[in-house]
Structure 1
Amino acid sequence: MEHVWIKDLPLYQGSQIEGVYLVKERTHGITKTGDPFVGLTLGDKTGDVDAKLWGCTPDKLTFATKDNVIWIRSEVSMYKDKPQLKILELAQKDREVDSSIFLDRAIRDPDEMFLELKEKLSSIEEPFLRALLEAFLTDQEFLGELKEAPGSKALHHSYLGGLLEHTLQVVNLADIVATLYPFLHKELLLTCAFLHDLGKLKELTWRPFSIAYTDEGRLLGHIVLGAEMVGQKIKAIPYFPEGLRITIKHIILSHHGMLEFGSPKKPKNLEAVALNLVDDLDAKLNAVKAFVEKDQAQGNWTEYHRLFERFFLKLPLYGTNNLQGEDLIQDLNGE
C-alpha cells in the first residue's frame, strides 16, 4: 500500500488510512468521564500529526515509544484546520521499513555537491590554510560522514546531506561577500566557512529513522565540538602559526553571533562578522522554506512560527496573469 504522507492527510478527512509512522512523542491521560487514553505525535518526513488511542493505558503499548516505528490503522478528522488521527489498530513495525519515509535527502547528489565544494576551496593557496583543508579533505571516514549528515535536528537543512548542502551554500555566499568587500581576508573566510559546522558530525546521530542529539552533542554542542576537531587537525601541522590558530578558533566559536544562540564569544573581527551573517542567511532561508512547505494550515498563511515569532505568507499576492515586464512599464506610463 502506498504511504499516506502526513502533509496530505487533509485530503483523507473522514476516511480510514493505514501505514507506518515514527513515534516522536507519547503522552497519556484520563478523560472527563474517567476513561484512559494514550496520545502520540506521529511523523514522517513531511510533518507531524497528533493521534489518540482511546480506552488504552500506557502499559499496553510498550512498543509505541519515542523513536520507534509503528503500523497504524486510523480515522482522519480535522480540528482547528489541522488533521488528527483516531487510532483504531496498531502494531510494532521496526523491520523492513523504508527509512526514506522518515528521513528526507538533499535534492542534489552529495558527490556532485562535494566536487563543487572541493573546486571552490581549491583556490585557497595560503600554505597553512591549504594544509588544514587537506587534513579534512583527504580523511575518507570524515568525507563519508560529511556527505551523509543532516544540517540540524529540526530547524534548517534537517535531512540527509543537509550539512554538506549548507556548508557549500555558506562557502559560496562567503565567496560572493569577499568579492564585494575586498578588505576581507577571502581565503581565511572561505576556510572557516568550510569548517564552521563540522562539529555537527559529533553533535548529531541520524540512524536508523530519526535525527537526534548525541550525549556530547547535548553537553557540548557543535560549536565547541567543531573547534576541538579543527584544533586536533592543526596540532598535526608543523609550525602552524599561533595567531592564525586563535583567529580560526574565534571565527568558529563566534559564528552563531550571540551568546544566547550558543556562541561563547561574539564575532570580533571582520571575517567572523561576515561568516555569522552568511551562515544565518542560509540557515534562515532554508528553515522558512521548509516550514512553509510542510505547513498544513488552510489558506494563504502558515501557522504561527514560534521561533521566528510570525506567520508566513505561503502564496504570492500576485498571479501569473498580472502585468509583467514591458506591460507593467507601459501601464505605469499610461500607454
Structure 2
Amino acid sequence: MIKDIIANTTNIKLTVIIRRALQGVASNNNPYLTLILQDNTGIINARLWDVSATDIEALVAGQVVTISANSLLYNNELQLKINDYQVLSGKEAEKHYQNLVISAPINVEKEWKDLLKTVEDFDDAILKKVVLHLLKQNEKDFTTRPAAVRMHHNVRSGLLWHTATMLKTAKEIVKVYHDREINQDLLYAGVIMHDFGKIWELSSQLITNFTLQGNMQGHIVLGSEQIGLACRTLKINEQEPIILLLQHLVLASHGKYEFGSPVLPKVLEAEILHQLDNLDAKITIIDDALKPLNSGMATNRLLALEGRIFYKHEGEKKKK
C-alpha cells in the first residue's frame, strides 16, 4: 500500500489507479511520464523514464495498473521510479476499483442525518423548504462526490466531509458570538449550499475531472442557479429577500473577485461563510502535506498558501 512505502526501497509491488499522466522530456531529449498514482491509503508521484508511444497510450488517467518500482526521496518528497508495469482491463480492473478509491474519514450516514436534522430545525420556512428539497433530490451525488479535483477534500464523499466540518464550526461560532446579529438559519443554509454546484461542476467518474458545464460556468454560478430552480419547482418567489440573501452567500463564498466570486461578501453571514471555507480548505491542505512527514521535517512549498513551507514539530498531537 502507498502509505507503507518508505524511501530507498527496491522492487515495490503495487496495484494502483492513475489519477493523472503528464508527459515530459528529459535532459537527454528522451520522453518520460510523470504519473500521479493512488490506492485507498494515499497518493504518490511516480516517473517512468524513456517511454515509448505505446507507454504513453497505455498509461492514462483512470487506468488500473500493477507496477514494480523503487522508492526515493526527491526534493524532500517520496517518489517512485517505475521499473515495469502491467495494465489491467475488463473484469480484472473492475474488481480493484472500489478498493483503490480514497474515501473521506467520516461516517457518511451519520453526517448526512445530522445535516438533514440541522435543516429540519430551521425556523425560516422558506430556507427549510428549499434546502431540504435540494438535498433530498441530490442525496447520492452530495454524499459521494469529492469537493475538488486536486486542492482539498478531493476524495470520495469529500463534499459532505467539507460541508459537515464547516457546519460544525459555524455552530460553534454562533455560540461564541451569541450576542451578535447572526442569522443562524441563513448561515447554516449558506454553508450547506456554498459548494452544492460541485455536483454539476465535477464528473462522477472514478477519477474526478471538470465537466464542460463546470469549466464554462463554475460551481458558484451553478449552485446559485440550483436555488433559483428549486424556487420555481416549489412555487416560491425567487425575489424573496431570504432567497436573494442565500444566493448572495453562495456567490460571495470565495471572498474575492480573483478567486472566482462575482460579488464580494456584503452581509455578516457571507463574510463568516467565506472565512470558514478558507479555513477548512487551508487546514486540510496543510494537514495532507504534513501527514507523510516525520517530526522535524518540512513540506515542500505549498502553492495554495503563498508558496509557504510548513514544519512538522515534535509537539504535534498524535492521532489515536
TM-score calculated relative to the size of structure 2: 0.86
CA, structure 1 residues 267+108, in 2 after alignment: closer, same or farther (shift >3 Å)?
A: same
Q: Please give the alpha-carbon distance, in whole angstroms, between the structure 2 residues aligned to 1:84 and 1:40.
A: 10
Query: Match of 1:316, SS?
Result: coil
**1:221 pairs with 2:218:** yes
State the match for 1:129 in structure 2. 127
Q: Please give the alpha-carbon distance, in whole angstroms, between the structure 2 residues aligned to 1:264 and 1:48.
A: 35
**1:286 pairs with 2:280:** no
CA contact (8 A) 1:81 1:298 kept: no
Aligned to 2:67, which of 64, 72, 80? Answer: 72
Q: What is the letter of the counterpart of residue 32 of structure 2?
A: V
Cα offsets for 1:291-330 (capped at 9, x unmatched):
21145x894211221221211122335899xxxxxxxxxx
* 1:158-169 correspondence runs (5 A): 158-169=154-165
Q: Please give the alpha-carbon distance, in whole angstroms, between the structure 1 residues aligned to 2:243 and 2:316.
A: 51
CA, structure 1 residues 143+80, in 2 after alignment: closer, same or farther (shift >3 Å)?
A: closer
CA, structure 1 residues 175+236, in 2 after alignment: closer, same or farther (shift >3 Å)?
A: same
Q: What is the letter of the counterpart of residue 10 of structure 1?
A: I
CA contact (8 A) 1:43 1:102 kept: no
State the match for 1:152 in structure 2. 148
Query: Match of 2:66, SS?
Result: strand
Gaps of 5+ in 1: 321-335
**1:41 pairs with 2:38:** no
CA contact (8 A) 2:302 2:309 kept: yes
Query: Match of 2:302, SS?
Result: coil
State the match for 2:82 in structure 1. 87
Gaps of 5+ in 2: none
Return the offset for 1:172: 2.1
| Matched-pair identity in % | 22
Aligned to 1:170, which of 157, 166, 169? Answer: 166
CA, structure 1 residues 294+262, in 2 after alignment: closer, same or farther (shift >3 Å)?
A: farther
**1:25 pairs with 2:17:** no
State the match for 1:326 in structure 2. none
CA contact (8 A) 2:127 2:243 kept: no
State the match for 1:234 in structure 2. 231
Cα offsets for 1:215-258 (capped at 9, x unmatched):
11111111011111111001123343532222221111001100
Q: Please give the alpha-carbon distance, in whole angstroms, between the structure 2 residues aligned to 1:42 and 1:134.
A: 38
Aligned to 2:47, which of 51, 54, 62? Answer: 51
CA contact (8 A) 2:76 2:299 kept: no
Q: Please give the alpha-carbon distance, in whole angstroms, between the structure 2 residues aligned to 1:15 and 1:126.
A: 61
Q: What is the letter of the counterpart of residue 185 of structure 1?
A: N
CA, structure 1 residues 37+236, in 2 after alignment: closer, same or farther (shift >3 Å)?
A: closer
Larger-Rg structure: 1
Aligned residue pairs total 308
Cα offsets for 1:64-115 (capped at 9, x unmatched):
1233222222333444444443333222123235235543112222111111
Cα offsets for 1:199-224 (capped at 9, x unmatched):
0111112422x221111111111101
Query: Match of 2:304, SS?
Result: coil
The root-mean-square deviation of aligned C-alpha atoms, in Å, is: 2.5
Q: Please give the alpha-carbon distance, in whole angstroms, between the structure 2 residues aligned to 1:110 and 1:31.
A: 48
CA contact (8 A) 1:28 1:58 kept: no
Cα offsets for 1:15-47 (capped at 9, x unmatched):
112222333123143653x6x342232311522
CA, structure 1 residues 319+126, in 2 after alignment: closer, same or farther (shift >3 Å)?
A: closer
CA contact (8 A) 2:252 2:262 kept: yes
CA, structure 1 residues 78+132, in 2 after alignment: closer, same or farther (shift >3 Å)?
A: closer
Return the offset for 1:264: 0.7
CA contact (8 A) 1:20 1:93 kept: no
Q: Please give the alpha-carbon distance, in whole angstroms, between the structure 2 residues aligned to 1:300 and 1:126.
A: 50
